[in-house]
Amino acid sequence: MTLSQFYAADLAGLDRADRRRALTLPSGLDFSSNDYLGLASSELLRTAAREALDRGVGLGSGGSRLLRGNTVEHERLESFAADLFGSEAALFVGSGFVANSLIFSTLPQPADLIVHDALIHASAHEGMRLSRAPCRTFPHNDVAAAEQVIASWRQQGGKGTPWIAFETLYSMDGDIAPVAQFAALAERTGAMLVIDEAHAVGVLGPRGLGLAADLYGQGNVIGLATCGKALGCEGGLILSPGVLRDFLINRGRGFVFSTAPSALIAAVVAESLAIVKESEDRRARFFHLIRHAERAFAPLGIAASGSQIQPVILGDDGTAMRVAAQLRAAGFDVRGIRPPTVPPGTARLRISITLNVDEQAIDGLANALTKAMADL
């Protein structure tokens, strides 16, 4: 078998399992994006970009941050973000994926242990794959199980530092972590906390600063605030003690050898953070739409997730993709999610509520979903 034949056979296997991915352009009403506050295409951020260009901010950076790629815009954003979140320091990188990969591949040391939620982001898994520290999984949101993993490791001679990793709001189930309980566990066990706030920043917590907002500034807390979801931009902010930021700059290969993110994007992210912290009206409207969606979907027997992310579990991969295609044909951009993104047997629709839709659109989706489910 030639190499090209191997690739073709692998793709054919994905076809047979209804798991072959393809790029499709957005169409219809937005029920699939993470643009929760509707900022990505807003005039607010367009204006911020124009003003940055007018004052001479460049598009490209021309090199890594350690060469000539570091700009006033990067440093201004990091200073503003650290002050806003109450963290000692912040580091801006190209994406949330890069941030998670950088954190886990660089900070935990060989004698340490990474203890992570079973449903944590794939980007965290990528970082752990590159890490020198061993990794252990605990069942989703199970604090007692995480504590038992750490205790067992200690009993077996573990001498280093445990690193407890979890998301505050999970991207496929839409459920929320017991943040305070994990913080208490870290206190009891001398652990570091790595808290991924990708889907919470901008919409949840005080001023939209996330569900772990009261923990930033502590010496054992690292936060990840992605900029490509509710903030409407791109990139990732690592919130940490200053010594860890310095360590990432010196030892993090994903930082040292990467071209710096665009200075223009850094300027727009800073403006987005300024907008978000003053956006209580947007968040109030956002939560109103979530409650409206819960009422609209209830007759279908869909249990409310409690957040803007509403899964509709269909089980079979092909069924999920057929229903998603039927909804898109009806004018509603809903995507099917299959393994390995979610566990086998839990293929689903992932409905995302954003300020890009209104009550009428949500009611229309509920009607279309009712018809699609009846057609099954």
Active site residue 34: yes
Task: Identify the pLDDT of residue 209.
Answer: 96
pLDDT at 359 over 90: yes
Equal CATH topology for 20-37+280-375 and 44-277: no
User: How many Å apart are CA 97 and CA 259, to the nearest integer?
Assistant: 15
Active site residue 15: no
Task: Identify the pLDDT of residue 277.
Answer: 93
Domain ranges (residues) in the chain:
20-37+280-375, 44-277
pLDDT at 19 over 90: no
Active site residue 352: no
Q: Which residues contact 22 (CB under 8 A, 6 or more apart)?
A: none
User: How many Å apart are CA 304 and CA 141, to the nearest integer?
Assistant: 18
Q: What is the per-residue pLDDT across 122-177, written as a single tens digit (0 to 9) for each?
A: 999 999 999 999 999 999 999 999 999 999 999 999 999 999 999 999 999 999 99
Of the residues 171, 258, 279, 352, only one is catalytic, namely 171
Give the containing element (helix H, strand E) for 135: strand 135-138
Of the residues 123, 229, 240, 271, only one is catalytic, namely 229
- Alpha-helix residue ranges (DSSP H) falling in the chain: 3-16, 43-54, 72-85, 96-106, 122-130, 143-155, 179-189, 242-251, 253-256, 263-277, 280-297, 317-329, 359-375
Task: Identify the pLDDT of residue 284.
Answer: 97
Task: Identify the pLDDT of residue 355.
Answer: 98
Task: Identify the pLDDT of residue 150.
Answer: 98
User: How many Å apart are CA 313 and CA 126, to the nearest integer?
Assistant: 26
pLDDT at 262 over 90: yes
Of the residues 199, 279, 317, 333, only one is catalytic, namely 199
pLDDT at 25 over 90: no
Q: What confidence tier does 24 reach under pLDDT thresholds 50, 70, 90?
A: confident
Distances (CA, A) of 174 to 98, 137, 139, 146, 268: 23, 20, 16, 21, 28
Please state, rounded to an integer, the average pLDDT across all residues of the chain: 95
Task: Identify the pLDDT of residue 39.
Answer: 97
pLDDT at 17 over 90: no
Q: What confidence tier does 267 reach under pLDDT thresholds 50, 70, 90?
A: very high
C-alpha 288 chain-centroid distance: 22
196 close to 225: Cβ distance less than 8 angstroms: no
Give the containing element (helix H, strand E) for 351: strand 347-352
pLDDT at 376 over 80: no
Active site residue 167: yes
Active site residue 229: yes
Q: What is the per-residue pLDDT across 290-302, written as a single tens digit (0 to 9) for each?
A: 999 999 999 999 9
Task: Identify the pLDDT of residue 191.
Answer: 98
Active site residue 74: no
Of the residues 30, 196, 271, 317, only one is catalytic, namely 196
Question: Whole-prediction pTM value?
Answer: 0.94
Q: What percent of the chain has pLDDT over 90?
A: 91
Of the residues 88, 167, 197, 271, only one is catalytic, namely 167
Of the residues 35, 121, 123, 262, only one is catalytic, namely 121
Q: What is the per-residue pLDDT across 219-251, written as a single tens digit (0 to 9) for each?
A: 999 999 999 999 999 999 999 999 999 999 999
Bridge partners of 29, per DSSP, are 332
User: How many Å apart are CA 305 and CA 300, to the nearest integer?
Assistant: 14
pLDDT at 98 over 80: yes
Q: What confidence tier does 282 reach under pLDDT thresholds 50, 70, 90?
A: very high
Instruction: Tally the C-alpha atoms within 13 A of residue 59's C-alpha that lie toward its C-beta.
Output: 1
* The CATH number of domain 44-277, selected from 3.90.550.10, 3.30.70.270, 3.10.20.30, 3.40.640.10: 3.40.640.10
Distances (CA, A) of 94 to 226, 255, 261, 287: 10, 9, 5, 29
* The CATH number of domain 20-37+280-375, selected from 2.60.40.1180, 3.40.50.920, 2.130.10.10, 3.90.1150.10: 3.90.1150.10
Task: Identify the pLDDT of residue 152.
Answer: 97
Active site residue 121: yes
Q: What is the per-residue pLDDT across 51-61, written as a single tens digit (0 to 9) for each?
A: 999 999 999 88
Residue with tokens 């057929």, as numbered in its chain: 322
pLDDT at 81 over 90: yes
The closest of 294, 349, 335 to 28, measured between CA atoms, is 335
CA dihedral 114, 119, 122, 128 (to 10 degrees): 10
Task: Identify the pLDDT of residue 239.
Answer: 98
